[in-house]
Structure 1
Amino acid sequence: MYKIDQTANRIIEVDSPKFSELGFTERHHLQEWLAHTPAALGEELLIIQKEFDGFDDTRERLDLLALDKDGNLVVIENKLDDSGRDVVWQALKYASYCSTFTKEQIIKAYQEFLNKNGRSDEYAISNVVEFLEYSDLEEVVLNSTNTQRLMFVAANFRKEVTSTALWLLGNGISLQCMKVTPYRHDNDLYLNVEQIIPTPEAEELMISINAKAKEEKETVVKMNSASRLRHDFWEQTINAFQNSDCHLFENISPSKDQWISAGSGVSGCSFLLNFGKSEARIEVTLARSQLNENKLIFDLLNAQQMQLEAEFGHQLTWYRNDPKKVSRIYYPLDIDGYDKETWPEIIDWMIKHMTQLEKTFKVPLLEAAEQMKKTLQEPTSTV
């Protein structure tokens, strides 16, 4: 890394000492940095364990265990200045141990991690469901067969490690090698995290090569039972809405997801139908890109709670969802969603209450959005 000296029109090399020279250790520093900022590894990860030793008949510990956005377990091994010779073997062992973990075991391990790290006020189930963007844990698939991923983190990788990693990658094992480099300039320290295996160019090429095969496979492989069930339900629901007085979902296609949504007239805010195994919901979803905008709109609506609920005719659930970005206002119904004989009743319920929800919130939501914009444009007073 070089610093640009604009005055002299030159570049100056920035010092890159070893972690050990800076007094940093693998366990107390690098591991802690990644545990608290997993996005440094280039993707959204949910750290669910640290120094995990919950394997039967072994006292071995893996450095970090995470979930990715697809519900796959990610084994992260950190080796600081040098990868060593055995990091691949260690990670493969840990991945094999983790391959048998059930959903219940993963949730239990994550809750233990939260409790141990002073976060006992958080619930593993809620965090996992929200991270994976579901509304019901029963719909979540965790740790599918042979989907475990490996991630190696080190300042330098030995040839025997990179050679083995490339061979494993070529044989369908999902892995990455992340090179971490400390830099020092004056009294400031910096950390660069770079994926070296597979290289970004190679990864893009692999994606391109596999895209057509994946597309063809997806067209011939049947949806799993839950996805097909949801698709069938939404198909019936949309048809029923088209024959009703509620026109929100006229241009919506059936989905295999748990929800379908329609615009409200306010950017980032929508009217949403949710269908799960045990619960159906209608809701107003506030999902603008800026957290403070969602919270301000929510608060402006919440100030009218009594009037809005009187207009709607039922008590609503007001979920501000601090400190997360998305806020929700919803009305639920307990159901047996996998019993198709109940679907006509569920669909009638959705049409009736979504019609009233739109009528209740359409104008107040537009007014709240306008007030939000004015509030954020007002200059902050200074003393």
Structure 2
Amino acid sequence: MKQLGKLEKIEDLRSIWKHEAKDFTPWLAEEENLSMLSEAIGIDIVLEEQESNVGEFSVDVFASEESTGRKIIIENQLEDTNHDQLGKIITYASGKDAEVIIWIVKRARDEHKQAIEWLNNHTDDQCAFFLIEIELWRIGKSEPAVKFNIVERPNDWAKSMKKSSSLTQGGAQKLDFWQQFIEYNQANNGIYAKSRPTSDAWIGKSIKGIPATNVNLVITKDNCRIEAYINSGNQEKNKSIFDALITQKDAIEQEYGSSLTWQRLDDKVTCRIYEDRPLSYINEDDRQAIFQFFCDATNRMLASFGHQAKLFKK
């Protein structure tokens, strides 16, 4: 009979990561490790900054949700939860205007489980608090493997019921549209198959390698639009990103397969590069055409702009 290995838990997390800020946070911020965390909690996490300033302090990881742009903070604690850290995550969430708060710990004490549960039950559907225990396992002398155990998470059913009961007619129509769009992606292996429906007028995907720029899908009563949307929060930075991209306008449009409208708004913070179609999400007969346009155009726009990431390498 073939010999089987014994699964062993590594109790001392600091035998692998000696220091939270110097060792664990850089490890977590690597794309493949953030992907593991994303898979565990069901949110596509895109890194914005490590050790991001909040006044005189700093949050371990500042990120965003790819499909909605919601801001995310991640605070790490390679020990048991405590009151001091709970207070810090609330402060950091406020300072970063975050809507997704992730607290990764060695062990969650009962009083802090209850605190996170209370926060999830008493905040609206835009806010999500996750309390996660991290474990390390190995078989024999193998490399350690990480496991994220979710201790507390939002009660999505309860929050969705709260949200649906308070939606305006327009919000309910948008929510229905995005639910159908995600189902279309699931049936056709589309890029939005794992996205969450929203009552907002847009969802999006970040463009890897281009700072502060997403590919957004936007719906209005009169048309639908796909856009490369630039919003760093700083007008001058937005303009510099836009100016760099417009030098490659011909190459981008040739690869995208269509001309685009390049819009730099001098009186506003954001810039956008877009294509629109006279199709309305309110019209059920238009929806399949919108779904096809959005899926096809997203793939082409992510590719055409993504190939210009070299412009932003330091």
TM range (shorter): 0.3 to 0.5
- Structure index of larger Rg: 1
Which protein is richer in strand relative to its size?
2
- Highest relative contact order (Cα 8 Å, sep 6+), 1 or 2? 2
Normalising by structure 2, what TM-score?
0.46
Q: Give TM-score scaled by structure 1 length.
A: 0.38
